[in-house]
Each structure stands twice: as C-alpha cells, then as structure tokens.
Chain A
C-alpha cells in the first residue's frame, strides 16, 4: 500500500501531533506514505473566501505533483482534504475554472487525482480485520465522543464521505481499539474553524456547547481528525473558562493517537505531550 501523503501546513506547527501519530500508525499497519516534494499550502478558508480561482489553483499545484507520482493522495487534515476535493470537483466540472487554473499553474490539470482521507484508507484498504489483528492494547472502558466537524462531511456531493448527517467512520475505528464510541448529537456541529483568531468570542461559544454536550453525554475524551477542530476544542478550553466560567478539562485527541496507543505505540511517539489538556484519562488505559 503506497500513497502520496499530503501533510498540510499544520503538520509543521499546531498539528505536529497529528503528523507524528499518522506516520507512526501508517508504519505499524504497513502503509507507505511518500510526501510530494515541494508541497505547498492548500489555501484553506482564507483562499476560498477570497477568490475562486485562487482557491482551486493552490490545491491543484499539489495535485499536479501527485499526478506525476502516479499515486493516490492521502490527507489526514480535514481542511486540506476538503479543499483538494472541492478543487478537483471545480476543475473537472467547470471549464472556465479549469482554464483559469491552467493559466495560473502554467500547466494543465484535469482534476482526476484520487484524494482520500486517511480514515477512508484505514477502513477500506487496510480493513477492519487487519487493524483488529494488530491491536495490542485494548482501550476498553474508555468513552470516546467522535467529532467529525464540517470539512470531512461537507459538501456531501463533493467529498462523498460517509453519511453527512450521522457519520460513523471514526466510531468504527474507535470500536476497533476496544474503547466505546458514545452516541451524542454534536458529531457534525461547527467549532468555528478559521475564525479562531479573528472572532475568538464566536469560537469560544461554539466549542463550549460542543464540549458541554460531550461531557453531558459521558465522554472521557473527544476524538477528532482535523487540526482546526483540535486546536479550537483543546486550546480554547482556557478561554471558555475565562469567558464562560466552565472548566471542562476534556482531552481532545486525534484518532491516529488513539489508534496508535491500541497498536502498542508509545505515547511519546504519538505526540501526546503536545496536547494542551493532558490526556491522562486516555493514557491510564495503557499504563
């Protein structure tokens, strides 16, 4: 199993833990990940809020590089995944966008590189059987609220990821670790995404309601697969305490961190020390 792996800019900053745990889990499950040389930013929310051609061209610059590698593209950051899927869709369905992108890149791109989220590859290519057989530590007794956020599941017709209103992919992976995935109503609510710095007040209110629901539903931790969701839910707990007076102390971990623990990988190799709210409730299951 060989794939081109697009880490995304967060992998070099706020989501080093996501990047580290992705590589560790891939290694343990025999998935070969090759970074495209010279990969660049997907443009994120700022890109599509500014200009449609810019928003399609920035991901396309990477997709062209991956096309030359002859591999499918794997992304773990939900935001990059979304931008790449949307760019492929726009380029392959809108001839004006396609020619403007070709002009911007200086080469033609047809929108055909297959973009997949790591979760899809784990469930479809590696498979439940192999993952279950590789589990060394059961996380039994741990209650996990799986949080998908927006960008993994929307727009449904373009990303075509799971059920857009009640996705279960993360829940399936959590169950493979021996942990319990709880039923709760905030799976696809928005954390405020890119407004984290510009409208911190909005993000604090949105994350407060999500974390409050996770707590009331009995979760020991929240599992995510998006660096923006992780930062907003983890880092902003300090601000929720200041602004709204609630102290959740709710660990927010990447699904690859949970999976890594179950596969017997040490917490130091999964970036657990980088979380703002310590994941002691999670780690005590393996120590």
Chain B
C-alpha cells in the first residue's frame, strides 16, 4: 500500500512542479502572480482528470472504483433500511437453506464416513437366488477363509470383526452390550484417532493373553460412564471376565458395537469373521466382485451350512445403503431449496426494480454528468453483490444452525458417522452461490436502470409517471415465476405431508398402545435342545404374566409389527398357483393375537399342548385366506414352507421340530395387521407355534394397564428371578415407539417437516414479493387514482383496477405452478417411494395461496383508495 501511495504522491508532486514551472515562466514574462497562476491552471487543464487517467494507465483504477462503489452501496443500503433488511433476509433464507442442504448432502453423500480411503471400503453380501425377495445377507467367514480372502489380488487389506451379544456383569442388573472381536490392524486400517487413549493395535495380539483390553464406543462411554474422562485404565467386567479400558473412540467412529476387543482373545476355531475390505486402488467393483465371487463359492462348498444352495455374491460399498435410502430425497430437497433461493433472488430483483423507479432521477443526473452506461451498470451490480454477500454471511450462520438442527433432531435417518460441518467446500459453495445469485437478481434491474432516458426523466420534472410498460412487465413476470415456484414447493410439501399422514393414519390392524416389546437374547451355547429352550421361554412368559398390572404377555420370535415375520416361499396342498409365492412366517405364542387386539375371524387358535409340542397347526391372515381361498374354505387346508430348515445358519443356534418344513393344518383365520412396514400393503402371513423353530433370542410383547415402560423394571426383575444372568436388550420400546423407529416413518417425517418448512419459507418470500409489487404499483399510480377519484370514480372501482392486474398475474403464476407440479409429480413418482398426491392437496395449496395472496394485495390496495383525492393529485 505504501508503494501505491508513493506512486500517487509522486505523480501529484510532479504535476504540482509542472504548474509551478509554468507560473514562474509567466511571472518571468511580467504577468501578475494571480494571473500567472490562473493562466498556468488553464494551460494544464483538468488536474483531476490528468491524475485519474494516469492512474488508469497503472491498471489499478478499477480497485479504487470498486471500493468507491462498495462504500456508496453500503451508504445507500443503510439509508433504505427497510428495503435492505427485506432483501437481505430474503437472500439469507434462500442461501441459508441451500447451504444447509448442501452441507447435509456433502456430509451424507460425499463425505459420509471418517475412515481412510473410504471410497475403497466394501463388504460382501450374498443374494439368495432361491428366494429373490428375501433380504440380502451378510455372511461370516472362518479364520482360514478370511486369510484366503486377504490374499486375493483385488484386496489391499481388510479388517474382520465378530460380533457377539454380551453382558456387563459385576453390577446390580446385568446390562446388555454388543462386543466385537476385531482384528488388531483396525487402527492403521481406518486411521481414526481415538478420542481418549488409543484404538486396538497390533501389539495387543500378544499382550491380550496377559491382560485383556477393551476400547469403548462413544455411545457406550456416554451411557455407561457418563463421559467420564478418567476412564482409561479402569476395569470393565464383561461376561464375568475383566477387561482393562485402553481407549474411547470418537463420536463419528461407530459401527454397531459398544465394545471393541482384540480378535486374539478368541480361539482361531471360534472366529466367524465379517470382513470389511479395502480394495486395491484402481480395481473396479465389478472385477473385485468376480474374483471374490469365485472364492466365496469355493467357501460355500467347504461350509455349506453358512450359505444357501444357489446364491450370488455382491460387493457393497459401505455407503451404498444410505445413498439408496436417502440420496434421492436429499436431491429432491436440494431442488426445493434451489427453488427457494430463486424465489429469494426474485424478491431482491423486484425490490431493486421497484426502488430503481425512485432512483430514476438520480441515475439520470449521473448519466447527464457523463457517467457511461457501463459505469452505472457496474455500480448497480456492485450494489446487488453487496446485498448478496451480506445475505450470504447471514445465510451461512443460518445454514450451520439449520443443518445441525436437522441432524440432532433426526440423528438416525442418516449414517451415524456423518457429521455436519461448515467446512471449506461448503463455504466455497455458499460464497459462489452468493455471487451467482447476486448477478442473477442484480442483472435484470441493473440492465433496465443503467440506460435512463435522460430527456424524459428531466422533462417529467421529478414527477413520477405511471410505471413504464417494460418495468411493469418485468415485475409481473417475476411475480408470476415466484408464485409458480412457490406452488411447486407447496405441492411437493403437500405430497410429502400427505404421504406421511396416510402412513400414520392407515389401519394398522393391531393396537400398539400400552404394549412394550422386551427382547431377550440368549447366551451363547445355552438351552441347546428344543424342549429346554421352549420351556425356558414358557417360564419367563409365565413369570411376566404374574406381574400385577400386566394384562397380556405373548411370545414373538420374529413377529413384532409393523415389520413382522420372515419371508418364505410356501405351498398349499392342491393349489399349484401358490407355488413360489412368498408369505410372512411368524413364530408366536397363541396369546399374540389377544395381546395385540387382532381379532380371530374364523376357526380357532392352537391350544397350550399344541403349542408346547410345536404342533403342525397354523393360523393365516385374511390376505392369504382371500387370495387362495376366496370361498372361505381355508380351515382344514394344508400349507407348508419348504425352504424353512434348520440347516441354514450356525449349527446349534437354531433348534426346532424335526419337520420344520412339513405340512401344517390351517385351523384359523385372523384379521390383517401390518407386516411389511408402514408404507406397504399387508402381505400374506402364516402364524405358527413358536417351539417349531427357535433362534437364539426372542421377544416378549407385554400389554399393561398403565404406562407400559413404567413396568419394564418389574419385567426385568421377573426375568432375573428365573435366571439371574439373563439380561434384556437395552432396546426396549413400546410399540408406538417401535413404529416411530421404522426408517420409512423417520424419513417420511423428516422430509415432511423439511418440505413443510421450506414451503412455508417460500410462501413467506413470495408474499413479501407480492406485497412489494402491489405497494410499488399503487404508489406509482397514486396520481392517476387521485385524478380518477376526483373525476368521480368510486373507491371500489379503483380497488378493482388494482386487483384485476394483480389477479391476472397471480392466477397465471398459480396455474403454471400447478401444471408444472403435476408434470413433475408423474416424473418423480418413480423416484420417491412415498409420494402421494390428491386433488384435495392441490386445491388446499391453491386456496391457501389465494387467501394469503389476497391479504398481501388488499393492504396496499386499501391504502391506495383511502387516500384523499386532493392529496393524491398533489402527491409529490
């Protein structure tokens, strides 16, 4: 800067010297000093111009001009505080919403996990070819298979983990915890620094045999130790074995487990490893898939019990699921906020145009004094950019807050590793956004205003004439576009909210109130025979039923609604068409129906003895009965699920009757209840006595008189009275919460709220735009209205003139918006799962808009007609 100043000062000195020489020369020629100075100045000409032009040669003049323009813009904006506040707020909302969506998208889709080289992290699942609709499955490998996997060409490295259900012992009530044995290379593999202490490290492989160590997950640390920072070195007792705590992992490092321990603690033969692989750089997913598919099919021959007969291997990228689940909707939401931003920009354009009218004379004077159109354009665009940048700074603050709010309100809609930060890409994005939007809304009004018609403005002697046709047209176009966009967003919000309402208000078919679901996981290697396990469950059920206040207890192995049952193929004796169709197979105790208030429509339920021996009887739901027995003759028919066998899965984990896939006699039909989620139709369902087929865990559905969660402690005590080591899963919820935990529910609720919020913002912005336009056009025509009224026009007539023009604009915008929405909606129906549309929603949107629009028009219009004609004529 001093160099710059020096150069400027030197130029000034030089010019001063020049003039002094000239003066001296004139004096020497005998002229009086006064006249000599005047002559010299005259000879030199415009000193300022000379200076300015010289500086222009240096090439930095634009910087000075820019600074000048910025200062001027700031001054003029702060003078028109109301105008600036509305414009900046419109922009801040638009930019804030867009930036927050961008940061969400960035966090969820572009940078979802903190792990090193996460783009190359994949895990294998298999797709069961015998049961194409059954969910894909993770599968585990034996230790030697895992070693073989590591040697494949496409795999650079891998970590393996083996999850088990454990309990924290050595305290009052045993607490359930997920413990994972993890290969010791995990620290260098994922490269996530520990929050406290360290992660598991390779040297632990040896050391673990002297002293077992454990690393805590953030959630477990918060839950169990309340975030105590002095936890390192303490001992945690898990399954009656002491572990020394060596580290706590940060919040964004989390798989499912609570506790991480070295794999070496587990004998090689017991290891069932789920691999997460880092592919070699440059290896495509497809080629890696082909190589690993061959290997896994070879594994399937070695350990057939882990795999179905026919399957395909599929490598899944660690972020695939989340992208599938929320990616589309996020992009839709992003489109919505971009529209919101455009509406905000249009608002600014409208305000600038309207204000430009009152600046006509100022600009005309500038033009008359010799400012070029280019120079005025520059100045106006700088003003627009100053608005945009101020708005974006405010918007960034807003965005940070909004994105955090969304995440904290709905943490588990997104991947739990995703953390929203306002980081460099997000900042760059929003600043670019500010510049683009500044140009967007600044250009149209600036172009219009930078060519003032000097003669006209000056002839009008400062009096405003009715707005020029061009301006009026630009304003109506802007307003109509705003209204169209707002209608689209409101329509989308209506569809989202409508879909959510439809989901929550459909007939569930069961009564979720006052019922809790208590999951009870069995310990490894316990209750190995069918009789022992069934008897144990029965005892637990009886103990819970004896608690005062409990009105019903049912056992549900896999049948907790709204996602209930296991998808299986079935056959009905004598009906070939039923082959290869799927139903939901549920293993329950007969009290299930009374506990959930599901009515029996036909036949009977199985009795206690049939239940205990796992009898070959079954109850079906109405959908299944209607589809295959339309004549109501379901009772007494034979049905079977041929693929239900004990062989799939880890041996000993599953126990059941010898003929799990044998023929069952249908003895009853019950009413439909949700079994395929909140948003899908009820599937055919088959209910069987639970002792026919038992996993390593089950659930008790407990109906209580009072608040169901209040009796949880009693339920836990009852369970402990049978087996003091039996923990219950922490995941106890009542069935309403269970509904709220469904991912479709959470997503749809979140998107309804966000869409609702955005459409509210859009509506508010559009109304501000409408209000400004009406006020502006009314102000423009105050004179005309005065004359009309002085000549005898009624106030209502004048009101009609105002409303007619605006009415045409509003309704054409509304119509365009509705048409575009309908066209888009068809397109998007393929994209979103739960889109919902009805004429009612569109009518509601239109009505709401017309109501608000009328209000926004009426206030300024009424003000126009309430003016005294004499005053109006003299206005300005």
Q: Do A and B interact with each other, yes or no?
A: no
Which A residues contact B (CB, under 8 angstroms)? none
